[in-house]
Amino acid sequence: MAYEYEYPHPAVTVDVVIFTIRSDELKVLLIKRALEPFVGRWALPGGFVDLKESLLDAAKRELREETGVAAAYLEQLYTFGEPDRDPRERVISVAYYALMPSDALEIKAASDAEGVGWFTIDELPELAFDHSEILQMALERLVAKLDYSTIAFQLMPEEFTMPELRHLYELITREEIDARNFAKRILALDVIEPTGRDRREGAHRPAKLYRVKDRSKVEVIK
Amino acid sequence: MAYEYEYPHPAVTVDVVIFTIRSDELKVLLIKRALEPFVGRWALPGGFVDLKESLLDAAKRELREETGVAAAYLEQLYTFGEPDRDPRERVISVAYYALMPSDALEIKAASDAEGVGWFTIDELPELAFDHSEILQMALERLVAKLDYSTIAFQLMPEEFTMPELRHLYELITREEIDARNFAKRILALDVIEPTGRDRREGAHRPAKLYRVKDRSKVEVIK
DNA sequence: GCAAAAGTGTTCCAGATACACCCATGT
DNA sequence: ACATGGGTGTATCTGGAACACTTTTGC
């Protein structure tokens, strides 16, 4: 039951930063650790890479296990390998980050187990290992990519309105955006189309609903 | 002499794509493999990560061992971990890329051992493992970063002229660049300064020499 | 004095920004 | 009818692209 090698081998894990939008906030999924080290501390979902699965598959598996959702935007972020980042043994962590449409989680959300939680990015608890650093880098990447890719649509539900999309950008960049310029810019990308329907909500003019023409396609702009 | 683990562990290597400019070409350092698998095939320099060293230190060590140069721009590229990328066992490779100033290598260049060579990027031999893929990604990253960072100066010698710098950009992007606009743009970055001296070379007006104000600093533009 | 490459400034265009009014709804 | 937020166009600015002539040297 032991595995032997001629040379020492580190353990390799995959950790995933899972972002979504809930209650009008940018949220991250965290897990309360049940085992040593850092028992009781919150941490990013992750686990050891199976010898027969690719890194991406391992990340997908984590994503599925924790959210019940198979499909989401998933991208490798960075590999963290300081010798002492895990007190047990040398552990190298390949970090990924995932973007989940806010509607994909509705069902699973209800059955949130004890020890799993969505945290607003500016109300994060102290995290285990170097997970704060990983999370920080994921956030920076997300903010940066918002600018030159169409990544943001990966966080939107099937149908959404222009004000909702704009609000997402404002949430992530923490800056106000002019509605007219925003709509112009987004429509010029030619990646969303009106569904023809609209959403009435409150005592004002209804907002048009849009949908992404081809989901799965994340394009780098220009 | 054996290392035992309760669970299977992959091996972890660091591979480094080392770029430099020589003979007016963008070159990459490759090593001829002396061991199975892929004996005799060219490959990126790399090796197993020591259990006590960080990933970055491992990359630095490879760099030093192969080029004799300790300092260079070094950045993590991506982690490659397909289950079958190495026929021996599961090997996960954390790839880095390095940029060496063209003058740093002069000494070592002469003593190039058999089985080590600088290859022009469009005259590459068939590579071992998935190293072609790694190299390809490094090249894409280099081209992309040229645009929005001051990374290019890492490839220049201590002193250089504006036409030389422009030529470097042309080599990497494979596009002609207008000399006037180029000079304007580069000087606006405010990262280089004239040395006051100039370089006479051929039957024409000498070019001013410039130097980087603060090497080590790679800034993202805007 | 001629060939060869370096230095340099202005005009133009496109994409981004600033900005205000009318429209459709619920109450 | 009025309050609320959504929809939309134009003028301006700014950064990038296009573009040509003068300068300094070696021969």
Strand nucleotide closest to residue B187 (CA to C1'): C8
DSSP code for B125: -
Q: Are residues A78 and A33 in the same domain?
A: yes
Same domain, B40 and B104: yes
**CB-closest option in A10, A52, A78 to B9:** A10
A15 and A118 both lie in a single domain: yes
pLDDT of residue B108: 58
Contact B49 A81 (CB under 8 A): yes
Picking from A177, A104, A159, A18, the residue whose alpha carbon sits closest to that of residue A168 is: A177
A contacts of B82 (beta carbons < 8 Å): 54
* Residue B50 domain-assigned (yes or no): yes
pLDDT (0 to 100) of residue A112: 52
Would you state the pLDDT for residue B107? 46
Dist CA B131 CA B82 (whole Å): 12
Is A207 found in the same domain as A121? no
Cβ distance B51 to A83 less than 8 Å, yes or no, reads yes
Q: Tell me if B16 sits within 8 A of B96, measured CB to CB.
A: yes
- CATH, residue B180: 1.10.10.10
| Window 102-161 of A, Cβ < 8 Å to B | none
pLDDT of A107 above 50? no
Shared domain for B26 and B102, answered yes or no, is yes
Chain A nearest CA to B68, separation (Å): 24
In a domain, A181, yes or no: yes
Query: How many independent structural domains does chain A possess?
Result: 2
Element (H, E) at B138: helix B131-148
Domain interval for residue A123: 11-130
Nearest CA in chain A to B91: A51
Of A106 and A9, more confident: A9
Protein residue closest via CA to C1' of C9? B180
Residues B88, B15 share a domain? yes
Return the closest nucleotide (C1') to the Cα of A185.
C16
Q: Who's near A7: CB < 8 A, 6+ residues apart?
A: B3, B11, B48
Closest CA to B113 of B69, B47, B67: B67
Residue A118, classified by CB atoms within 10 Å of its CB into exposed (0-12), middle (13-18) or buried (19+), is middle
Q: How far is CA B178 from CA A90, A222, B5, B167, B169, in A?
A: 51, 21, 60, 11, 11
* Most B CBs within 10 Å, among A5, A60, A220, to test the B interface: A5
The amino acid that residue A83 corresponds to is P
Q: Report the distance from CA of residue A164 to the C1' of nucleotide C26 in Å, as an integer.
A: 20
B56 or A71: which carries more pLDDT confidence? B56
Write down the pLDDT at residue B110: 44
Same domain? A164 vs A120: no
Helices (H) and strands (E) in chain A, counts: 5, 11
- Distance from CA(B178) to C1'(C10), angstroms, rounded: 15
Judge: B8–A3 Cβ closer than 8 Å, yes or no: yes
What tokens appear for A24 in the block?
A: 């009008």
Q: Is residue A194 assigned to a domain?
A: yes
8 Å CB contact of B54 and A82: yes
Strand A25-32 and strand A11-22: the pairing is: antiparallel
What's the Å distance between residue B165 CA and nucleotide D11 C1'?
Answer: 40
- Residue A96, classified by CB atoms within 10 Å of its CB into exposed (0-12), middle (13-18) or buried (19+), is buried
What contacts A143, CB < 8 A, 6 or more positions away?
A: A172, A173
CATH number of the domain encompassing residue A25? 3.90.79.10
**How confident is the prediction for chain A on average, in pLDDT?**
92
Q: At residue A29, does pLDDT exceed 80?
A: yes
A179 touches strand D (CB under 7 A): yes
Which parts of chain B register pLDDT below 70?
1, 105-114
Query: Residue A192 CB closer than 7 angstroms to strand D?
Result: no
- What pLDDT sits at residue B21? 93
CA distance B9 to B90: 8
B52 contact to strand D (CB, 7 A limit): no
So what's the pLDDT on residue B113?
59
Say if residues A25 and A155 touch (Cβ distance below 8 Å): no
User: Same domain for B119 and B70?
Assistant: yes
The percent of residues in chain A predicted with pLDDT above 90, rounded, is 82
Tell me if B9 and A7 make a contact (CB, 8 A cut-off). Answer: no
Q: Are residues B197 and B100 in the same domain?
A: no
B8 to chain A: which residues are within 8 Å by CB?
A: 3, 51
Q: Are residues A168 and A61 in the same domain?
A: no
Mutation for A interface: B6, B7, B9, B15, most A CBs within 10 A: B9
Tell me whether residues A83 and B2 touch, CB distance under 8 A: no
To the nearest whole Å, the CA of B130 is away from the closest chain A CA by 14
Domain end (from A99, A130, A161): A130
User: Is A155:A100 a contact under the CB 8 Å cutoff?
Assistant: yes
- Domain assignment present for residue B146? The answer is no
Task: State whether A2 and B3 contact (CB < 8 Å).
Answer: no
Asked whether residue B4 is assigned to any structural domain, the reply reads no
B125 and B155 part of one domain: no
Q: Looking at the structure, tell me whether residues A66 and A175 fall in a common domain.
A: no
The alpha carbon of residue B84 is apart from the nearest alpha carbon of chain A, in Å, by 8
**Chain A window 31-60: which residues touch B at a Cβ cutoff of 8 Å?**
48-49, 51-55
- Is B136 contained in some domain? no
**Which of B9, B10, B55 shows the shortest C-beta gap to A81?**
B55
Considering only CA atoms, name the residue closest to the C1' of nucleotide C24.
Answer: A205
Residue B144 covered by a domain: no
Does B36 reside within a domain? Answer: yes
